[in-house]
Amino acid sequence: MSGLADGQGCRIRRVRERDLTEILEIEETAFTNPYPLGYLRFLAKANPETFLVAEGVDRLRGYIIADIRNRNEGHIISIAVSKDDRRKGVARALIEEVGSVFREFEVEVVKLEVRVSNHSAIKLYESMGYRQVGMMLGYYRDGEDAIIMSLGMGDVHYSGPDRRGSTMKM
């Protein structure tokens, strides 16, 4: 699939069964209520094109899980990066790559939910063109609200190669 523009030595590829234990470790450090291994396995089987990992030389650096709903709406279910690899472009590269997959499937809009307290993620999404379009009160298990963010695929700004040979930047 792709490498990271900042030279972190990662490549992005589809998830494999053997990745799930390592993904669970990233989940457990990133989230208060991580997905259990069985659910990660279900998501990997249900979304083989849109469950991607950023693979370093000796370990996974992050992952993104997404799906396609109603044939034209992409949804980012979860994204996480290992603690040592945060703020190094891994999340951005994962989002850009899943965006390439969405374009192949002619997705028109991408949505996601993010904790209202996750200011760094909100800033990243906004820098990539996502807009706040709503709220879900008490969305998370601990009662925290979620901001719903959306990106129209026509809003994508182009600046780097995608898998079709054109240039893109979300």
- The predicted-structure confidence for 11-56, as pLDDT tens digits, reads as follows 999 999 999 999 999 999 999 889 999 999 999 999 999 999 999 9
* Average pLDDT score over residue span 148-160: 71
Question: Which residues, in sequence order, are CB contacts of 51 under 8 Å at separation 6+?
Answer: 14, 15, 43, 44, 63, 64, 65, 66
Helix (H, G, I), strand (E, B) or coil at 24: helix
Burial class (CB in 10 A: 0-12, 13-18, 19+), 12: buried
The Cα–Cα gap between 68 and 105 comes to: 9
Dihedral sign, CA of 131, 135, 141, 143? positive
Bridge-partner residues for 149, per DSSP? Answer: 112, 132
The Cα–Cα gap between 164 and 142 comes to: 42
Q: Which residue has the tokens 């992050």?
A: 62
Banded model confidence at residue 156, pLDDT cuts 50, 70, 90: low
The Cα–Cα gap between 85 and 20 comes to: 18
Domain parsing of the chain, residue ranges: 2-169
Bridge-partner residues for 73, per DSSP? Answer: 69, 109
What is the CATH superfamily name and number for domain 2-169?
Answer: Gcn5-related N-acetyltransferase (GNAT) (3.40.630.30)
Contact (Cβ atoms closer than 8 angstroms) between residue 73 and residue 67:
no
pLDDT of residue 10: 86
Question: What is the reported pTM?
Answer: 0.85
pLDDT of residue 162: 42
Q: Is the pLDDT of residue 81 over 60?
A: yes
